[in-house]
Amino acid sequence: MWRIGRRLYLHARREGSLDFDLNGEAYLQRALAERSVATGRGLRIVDVGANYGQWSRAFLTTLRQLGAPQAEFILFEPVPIIADAVSSLADEFPDHRISVERCALSDEAGTARMVTTRIDAGTHHLQASSGSLEGEEIEVPVTTLDLRFGGSDQAIDLVKIDAEGFDPKVLSGMTGLLARRAVEIVQFEYSWLFIRSRAFLYDIFTLAEAHGYRVGLLTGRGIEIHPEWHPDLEKFNASAMVLIRDGEADWLTAREVRYGPDNTHD
């Protein structure tokens, strides 16, 4: 009964799944692709934690299917053998500009130890403290999104972050871009892995409010915009979430939700 109740609870909250086809990521990619076709303007996409390029490949496939204008994809992948593999995307999609940058992203530049698990697991992450028992460690270069793109006047349509719990640090490293509203949408993963960064969803709401962005939950039906943080959001259930520039979600299927006195929302 507990398992059944748990499944119903997560389903009702539209949380607990990072399945690309169910959690709203596919919806967001298609919405951006359709807008690109409608406006005739190519997208500029940044993929932080590209791994083998599954997310970017799905996006590029959608752009190809819709006949969208040439897009620019900048992928960040610090594990050398995986960076070599994901570079093949440029050959698969020659009609788009695709580059791979072999470094990790965080809130400051330098070098860091990265824990590498089984090579195909997709769970490689920066090390928060010494003495990891999770896998082998390699040293990787680290930069910030502010340092990488701060000198450019070109806007970014979407920054996707999948940093295995270090998403808050990547977000902290792009406050300059957010302050000048140079990024339209930021997609990130929220889950128990936030513990690795000693961070809460509350921190993301604080950052978003300070820079004129709103926090939303991606769902298969669109985006739930949460105008304010609520304690019941802080469940560490796996969710795909976004920051959206305030006042610029009209072209998306988005609705605002608020928690009532019984700690639930429609």
pLDDT of residue 132: 44
Q: How far apart are the first and last CA of the chain?
A: 24
pLDDT of residue 20: 77
Q: What does the alpha-carbon distance between residue 266 and residue 258 come to, in Å, rounded to a whole number?
A: 8
Chain center to CA of 130: 26
**75: helix, strand or coil:** strand
pLDDT digits (tens, 9 = 90+) for 178-198: 999 999 999 999 999 999 889
Give the per-residue pLDDT at 16: 59
Residues of the chain with pLDDT under 70: 6, 9-18, 117-135, 263-266
pLDDT value of residue 130: 42
Q: What are 47-100's pLDDT values in tens digits?
A: 999 999 999 999 999 999 999 999 999 999 999 999 999 999 999 999 999 999
By residue count, the chain amounts to 266
**Does 15-256 carry CATH code 3.40.50.150?**
yes
- In order, the DSSP letters of 112-124 are EEEEE-STTSS--
Domains of the chain: which residue ranges?
15-256
| DSSP character at residue 235 | S
pLDDT given at position 121: 44
